[in-house]
Amino acid sequence: MKYIIVLLISLASLALAQVAYKGELGLTSSINQSKLGPIGTGQFGFALRAHLEADYALDPLSFRLVVDPQISLNGSLLEDAFFEPGITEAYALYRLDSLDLSLGLERLPLEYARLSLPFGLEPTGKSGQRLGLLGIRGTFYLEDWRIRSALLYRYQDEQAGAIFSTRKAFGDFELEGHILYLNQEFVAGLGGSGLLGDLITYGEAWLRPQALNATGALGLSGFWGDSLWTLESAYAPSALLQSEDAFPQVLGQLSLPQGDNGSLELSSSLAYAKRLVKQDEQTLYAFLNGAYTFTELDWSLSTGASLVYSEDLQNLNLNLSFTQFF
C-alpha cells in the first residue's frame, strides 16, 4: 500500500510540474560577393533555422533544453549544404537556498566585452552559434559574492578541464576573477562592469602564461536620446577573419529605434591584422554593418548589409530574414 501512495505522490508532483517553452523559426537568404586578391566569387545562400527553449520545473529540481538547429546551403551544390543540430544546452539543475548544482551540457559565458571576444571558452557550431560545455557545476551565493566552480569537458576537441570563479559586487560595480585549466594550460582572467554617472563602463583581461599571451577589452556604453551607443577597444581574435591570433581593434555600435516597431542597428570596426595574401605583413581591415528590423508580436522581418574591406579582401553581403515566434 505504501508503494502505491508513494507512486501517487510522485505522479501528483509530476502533474503539478509545468513545462515552459518558447521558440522561433527563421528563414534567411543572402547574396555574397567576395574578392581575395585577383580572385572574385559570388554566392547565394539560404538557411532554415530554429530556436527552442524548454524548461521543466519540479522544485527544487529543474531541467533545461536549448536547441538551435539549422540547415544551410551556400552556393548551388548540395555538397555545400550542412545540417547543424545545435544542441546548445541540456542539463539538470538542483537549487537549494544559496547553492545551485547542475549536471549536463550548459553554456558558460565569461566575457564582459560586448563587441569583441578576447577569450572564448565555449565552442562554436558551423553557423557560428555558441554551444555549451559538458560538465558538473556548483554555484554558491553569499550576500554580494558569487562563487562557482566546474569540471568541464569540451567534446568538440576532446579537452577536459576545470574552472574556479568568484564575483563581488561593490555598489554600482562588480568584479569577477577566473582561474581556468584547459588544453593542458592555465588561464587567468579578470572582468568587471559598473556605472560612471550615466555611462556603463566594462572591461576584461586574460593571461595565458605558458603561451606568453594576453588579451583584453575596454568599453563604454550609454544613451544618446533614445539611441544606445557602445564604443570598445580590444586586443583580441576576430571571428570575421576566422583567426585565433589576437590583434588591436576599435569597435562601435549604434542602435536607433524607428517608431514603435522598427529598429536600426549600425556597427563598425577597424582592425590591424595579418594580411591574408602575405602572412608576414599586416594591414588595416574595415568592417561595416547595418540592419533594419521590423517586429510585431509574433514575427519579425530584417534586412541588412555588411562590408569588409582591406588591401587583400573586399566582401559585400546582403541578407533578408523572416522570423516567426511561438
Q: Could you report the per-residue pLDDT of 199-208, keeping only the tens digit for each?
A: 999 999 999 9
Give the whole-angstrom CA distance, residue 196 versus residue 326: 39
182 closest CA partner among 199, 205, 157: 157
Contact 241, 275 (CB under 8 A): no
**Nearby residues of 12 by Cβ (< 8 Å), 6 or more positions away:** none
> What stretches in the chain show pLDDT beneath 50?
1-12, 15-16
138-156 CB burial, b ≥16 within 10 A, e <16? ebeeeeeebebebebebee
Give the whole-angstrom CA distance, residue 259 versus residue 182: 47
Tell me the three cell numbers of residue 294: 521590423
Residue 308's H or E segment, with its range, is strand 299-309
Give the whole-angstrom CA distance, residue 288 versus residue 307: 5
State which amino acid sits at residue 245: D
Tell me the three cell numbers of residue 13: 508532483
Sorted by where each starts, the structural domains of the chain and their CATH numbers stand as: 18-325 (2.40.160.10)
State which amino acid sits at residue 76: S
Enumerate the β-bridge partners of residue 19: 56
Return the pLDDT at 3: 44
Return the pLDDT at 33: 94
137 closest CA partner among 89, 185, 172, 183: 89
In the chain, the largest separation of any two C-alpha atoms, in whole Å, equals 82
State which amino acid sits at residue 261: N
Return the pLDDT at 283: 94
- State whether residue 11 is helix, strand or coil: helix
266 closest CA partner among 46, 45, 115: 115
State which amino acid sits at residue 213: N
Distances (CA, A) of 265 to 69, 259, 268, 269, 325: 26, 14, 10, 14, 21
User: How far does Cα 191 stand from its chain's mean position?
Assistant: 17
115-132 CB burial, b ≥16 within 10 A, e <16? bbbbbbbbeebeeebbbb
Return the pLDDT at 242: 73
Contact 249, 270 (CB under 8 A): yes
